[in-house]
Amino acid sequence: MSRGKVIRTLQASSLLAPLTEAELMDLSNCGYIADYTPGESILIADDPDEYLFVLQQGRVALKLSVSPNGGQCEGEAMVELTSPGQVFGWATWIRPDRIRVSVEALEPSSLVALDLHRLQNTQAFLKVGQRMVQGLYGLLQEYGLCPPNLSALLKLGHPLLV
- Using the Cα atoms of residue 138, residue 142, residue 144 and residue 147 in order, give the sign of their dihedral: positive
Residue type, 67: S
pLDDT at res. 115: 92
Q: State how far the Cα of 65 lies from the Cα of 83, in Å rounded to an integer.
A: 22
pLDDT tens by residue, 6-63: 999 999 999 998 899 999 998 999 999 999 999 999 998 877 778 999 999 999 999 9
Residue 159 predicted with pLDDT over 50: no
* pTM, to two decimals: 0.86
Q: State how far the Cα of 157 lies from the Cα of 162, in Å rounded to an integer.
A: 7
Pick 3-156's CATH classification: 3.40.50.720, 3.50.30.30, 2.60.120.10, 3.40.50.11440: 2.60.120.10
SS3 126: helix
pLDDT tens by residue, 121-137: 888 888 888 888 888 88
